[in-house]
Structure 1
Amino acid sequence: MRTPPKLVLSAVLMIGVAFGGLAVDSVRSTPAQALNNGLVRTPPMGFNDWNAFGCDVSEQLIKQTADSFVSSGLKAAGYQYVNIDDCWMTHSRDPQTGRLVPDPAKFPDGIDGTADYVHSLGLKLGIYEDAGTATCAGYPGSLGHETVDAQTFADWGVDYLKYDNCNNAGSTTTQQYIDRYSAMRDALAATGRPIVYSICEWGVNSPWLWAPSVGNLWRTTGDISDGWNSLKSIIRENLPLYPYAGAGAFNDPDMLEIGNGGMTDTEYRTHFAVWSMFAAPLLIGSDLRQATPATMNILLNKDIIAIDQDPLSKQAKPISDSNGHVVLAKPLQGGDVAVALYNESDTAARISTTVGAAGLPKATAYRQKDLWTGTSTETAGTISAVVPPHGTAIYRLSKDSKWANLPPSADLSVTLPGAAATGSQPVVNPNTPVDVQTALTDNGRAPLISAAVTLTAPAGWTVTVKSSPIGVAIQSGKPFKSQWTIAPPAGAGPGSYQVSASAVYNWTGGSWQTITTTTAFVVAKPPPSGVSYLSDLDWLSASNDWGPVEKDRSNGETGAADGHTITINGVTYAKGLGTNAPAEIDYYLDGRCSTVSTDVGIDDEKNGSPANATFIIYADGTEVANSGAMTAADPAKHLSGSLAGAQVLRLVADDNGSPDSDHTDWAGAQITC
């Protein structure tokens, strides 16, 4: 659960963050045996109210969500747990029995009445509590009350418990964490009721090393937020933990944000695909009563759900990871393998691997099913796609003796060998032609016949063919390349513009195929001459962990302009940028600038916290300044670097793996052009 709004963590938790990792290896260096309670042999699927509603939980919401499970097809697709998060109870226990008391205004029929309704629909009910003296929202915690609370949950008909980590009474060491969470494990077991046990200690004390014998799943990261930087950061944290997942024991990178509106549908598809490759719980965190068709299409994708729910329950292993291009492979029951091509970067990219690297045995050819489109092709051994920025292609690969009946797999890319490498999206100037190359590659056994490639730009742009776009016969593994020039009109305003390439081709099976790819081009305004504050300029792109990047304010984590005066170690700044690490900001320079300079540090509003961040400046992808790790106790550091000839400036605040919300200031940031 998120500490509202991720600003206030108890001092004792902060101590745990600082020291918790030191004791892990002394406790256990290999994965523990999975908790033998027979539950969730595949990852749990369902709903949790916190991401969309926070404390605004009610019996009506839970019942309406359960109804939505049935009417929308979610129940049929495998979603079954309807989980209540924090704020469901009163602020005092029953003075006679010591039991927790449901808020009568929110739950007039009580938790047991709500459970009865959910159960009547063939679904299961989950509840929330905390392994501390109080929940994150300040309601009674279960520390010291494990026996009575577990029995209360069992009496109410609860099927799932999420157990949080706020206000944990000074608990810091790994053994203290094990003791607190084991106490509830034992209390739940003593009730005799099967209750799924979800440990939510935020990855503080490396729970993947000890929690398999304590709970059914355990949080591996801090709280997710509905933004790309948060999603990207959590994926990074969970990637190396594949050895620790298994049936009934799962790494939990937090609940789904799909449908909450803070990310694009492409990013939400990545969220769902990567979570399924992770064998992660699929707990919907959006308002299903208002879900869009795009949201439901993602959540109801039966082929990707099957990857998550595969009986082997293995988490995917990263088999390659370079320049923000990650390939994941997940073995499946029966010998198939799921492969995901994840593009963390801000530019469309061709990402590829081989069936051998993915773990498939040698064969003449393979069936490759695209799990987003549902279409199947044959591949000779290459698994490849042009993946949009922040996107993920996901496939199921199988040995198939009837591969010759399938069209060959192919991919189509658009590259700009004549354009500057920007480190973000390709940037072009109005009325200035740039060279573009298309490449159609046959990844199958059969050749592509009579291929024709077209390139389409927005209205008013010019597109000129420089070499033939017609390929008579394209052999396996041989890309067919065509050269083009494109140019935006003189009056093109700043913004992102889509350029699309399409190819039609035949094959020996005799059916025409079409493939399309799109690349975003950015028309940007060059900076003015002289010295400019970056907070007075428009950026190319900005991503932030919590809330938007702020201009001339610290980061307030929620909405625009909700921060304060930038202050680092008692020094205030009227100008600058307020970010929340991990964060990235790109500015277009057009090769016109010479230097960048800024003071950097953790804002004073984080004094007393374990905030820890590194500030890095890049010019066209080359590092030109680095602060090293900084804490909230450090005075500001001055960074400067050369921008000579650079097209794009990138400011990066790295959270160094800290789960705290790091308020990272770029104070007085300037460029000279």
Structure 2
Amino acid sequence: MLEVGNGGMTNTEYTAHFSLWALLNAPLLLGNDLRSMSAQTLAIIRNAEVVAVNQDWGGSQGRKVRDFGETEVWAKPMSDGGAAVVLFNRSATTATITSSAAEVGLGGSSGYALRNLWTGATSTSTGALSASVPAHGVAMFRVNRSGALAAAPAAGTHQVGDLAWLASSNFWGPVERNRANGEQAAGDGGTLTINGTTYAKGVGAHADSAVHVYLGRACPLFSASVGVDDEVTNAAASVRFQVYGDGRLLAYSGVKRAADGPTALRVATGGYTTLELRVTDARDNANYDHADWGAATLTCTAPGTGSSPSFSGGNGWGPAERDQSNGEQAAGDGAVLTLGGVSYLRGIGTHAPSDLVVTVAGCERFTAVAGIDAEVGSATARVTFTVLADGVTVFTSPAVTLASGPVPVDVDVTGRSTLRLVVGGGGNGIDFDHADWADARLLC
């Protein structure tokens, strides 16, 4: 319920209020007296370009991407491939707020077109975003790539710690390449170590942290082992790891603490132009939050367009679910797909026995993470995953249980027309056999 025009705030504050709710995709419900609106109130709520940001569903709400204390940067990916950006000044004096195209998920271009949604002014930039923002106010922009894109990474396997980064930010000291975060000067950290396991390569950070990497739509897989570095033993350490593609959340870990072992992250990134590796605190504070992306690795091929597959076919209990687990009853009754301590925003939730058909004509690869969903607490859950391409078996998993953890699926589908994604019982009946093709993605 909006406060615009209700009294008690300035028009600058009303503008900030309206901008943030629009960026967050909130229903814009007017809470003021419609019989007596001032011209200034009407000008705010009738700004068609700001309302268009609210109504555009680009796959993600807006979110805070940087917090400087009294000033903040918020961004939302838009369906046209650009981003809406709000620079928010919480302080009592005018402040200059600076961000970048890379920080809002748009790195890799030689130029950008900017439009100020409150003044109507247009401008160009090579990547910098900056504005003088009044106290308690905002500057709001639409930002789009307008220049030539950088060359994609070469085909092969790349360590993120060795790549050039588009941008990075960190709570204490710089984000470290191939070493833990020592909080002060660059290079002051030790070997990346999570619960006794060491990593020669990776990224050492301190929440809240972000690393932005250019993919050029050519890197279909990101993998890492994540956790709190062993240089921290305090029980107050608590972090969460998040992976974004073009500003959209793809996967996130559960809360990781100092005593926990590493969690394996394997995320399909095919078709995305930029990658963001973010670490946040666990909604407490950032004390002791030293976080490692151990062996952070990108597998790159040739540029292509990625998409979540559509499917049809039969399922053991209730319908197979798109982008959620199988709740066994009505469509849409599942939860976030969660395997091995990692939650995925995209994928297919099934229950054995399941046999789904996916059209793959014109595509090159199908990838997924296959396993028993965490909503199942029973050790008796046991399934096998099989992929058939035009009737030929191209992948078969061993028996998968909660204890065994998920298995990666990476299948070449070049020249194929259809895939069958088959889940079978593991030989002990089908009780509790909630099986996910998490992060299922086609590279075409």
Calculate the TM-score normalised by the size of structure 2: 0.45
Higher helix share: 1
State the structure with more CA Rg: 1
Higher relative contact order (CA 8 A, sep 6+): 2
